[in-house]
Amino acid sequence: MPAAERVLLRSGTMWLLLQSLLLLLASCLRSAAAFPKGCYPSEEEGLKTFRCSNARLTEVPRDIPNDTNKLYLDSNRIPFLPRDAFRDLPLLLELDLSHNAITSVESGAFRGLAEHLHFLDLSSNRLVSVSKDAFSNLKAKVNLSNNPWLCDCQLQELIRTVDLAAGSSGGIVCGSSTQEEHVGKAFLQVIADTDFCNVYKKTTDIAMLVTMFGWFAMVISYLVYYVRQNQEDARRHLEYLKSLPSKQRRSEESSTISTVV
C-alpha cells in the first residue's frame, strides 16, 4: 500500500476515534449536567442508588432518576418537604433525609411511596410537630429521633400511626411540653404515665361547658330584662289610664287587657 494511502487511512481512523471520544465526553457531560452539583448515581448491592449527601441542597432535587431504589439526601439544608416531593420515584426502597433543617412535612409529601418504601430516616432535623396524615398509608420503618419534639396529643397520635425503626424510639425526646417536668425525657417514657389526648379531651370538654353556661346565662339575663321592661311599660300604661276620664278609661283598659291576654 502506498505511503500516502497509509497516511490517509491512519488519519481517517484517528478522526473516527476522536469523534467517538468527543461524543462519549459530551454524553457524560450531559448526564452530569442533569444532576444537581454534588449528586451522582451509583449501584450498591444490585440496587440503583442516588447520592446527594452533603451537597448543600435547599430543596428536594427534581431530576432524580425514576428507577432509583435508594436515595440519600442527608446532611443538607432542606427546610421542609412539600406535597408530592417524591411522587416520581415509584421504586424507592430507602430514603435518608437525616441531618437536614426540616421543620415541616406537608400532608402528601410521601404520596406514591406507600407500596415499596421500607425505610425512612428523618432523624436529626428540626421537627417540632407533624400531623399523622403526613405518613398516611406509609408502611416503612421510620426514624424520628433527635428532633426537638413538642410532647402533646398530636405527637402521641403520630407515634401510634408510624412504625418506628428498631432502636430509634429512645431518641424521641420532649424538646418542649405543656408540662415542664416532661422536657428532656423520652416520649415513650412520658406517655407511660400521661395520656396527652385524654387530658386534651377533658380540657376541651370543660371549655365547651363553660361556653355553654355563658350562653345560657346570657339568654336568662335577656329574658329577665325583657319581662321587667314589659312590666314597667304595662305599669306606666295603667297609671296613664287611671288619669283618663272614666268612659275612655274603661275602653282603653279593655283594650289593654285583651292585648295582655
CA 25 vs. chain centroid, Å, equals: 44
Q: Which of 69, 60, 62, 135 is nearest to 100 (CA)?
A: 60
The answer to whether residues 71 and 57 touch, using CB atoms and an 8 Å cutoff, is: no
Residue 125: its pLDDT value, please?
98
State how far the Cα of 171 lies from the Cα of 167, in Å rounded to an integer.
8
- pLDDT tens track, the chain, 261 positions: 554 454 444 555 554 555 545 444 434 444 444 688 899 999 999 999 999 999 999 999 988 999 999 999 999 999 999 999 999 999 999 999 999 999 999 999 999 998 899 999 999 999 999 999 999 889 999 999 999 999 999 999 999 999 999 999 999 999 999 888 999 999 999 998 899 998 644 444 444 544 554 555 565 665 556 556 666 666 665 665 566 565 554 555 555 444 434
Q: Which three cell numbers stand for residue 239?
A: 297609671
Q: β-strand 80-81 against 47-51: which pairing, if any?
A: unpaired
The answer to whether residues 97 and 122 touch, using CB atoms and an 8 Å cutoff, is: yes
Question: What is the dihedral sign for C-alpha 146, 152, 158, 159?
Answer: positive
State how far the Cα of 237 lies from the Cα of 260, in Å rounded to an integer.
12
Rounded (10°) angle between helices 196-242 and 153-161: 140
State how far the Cα of 248 lies from the Cα of 254, in Å rounded to an integer.
10
The superfamily CATH assigns to domain 33-194 is: Ribonuclease Inhibitor (3.80.10.10)
Q: β-strand 94-96 against 119-121: which pairing, if any?
A: parallel
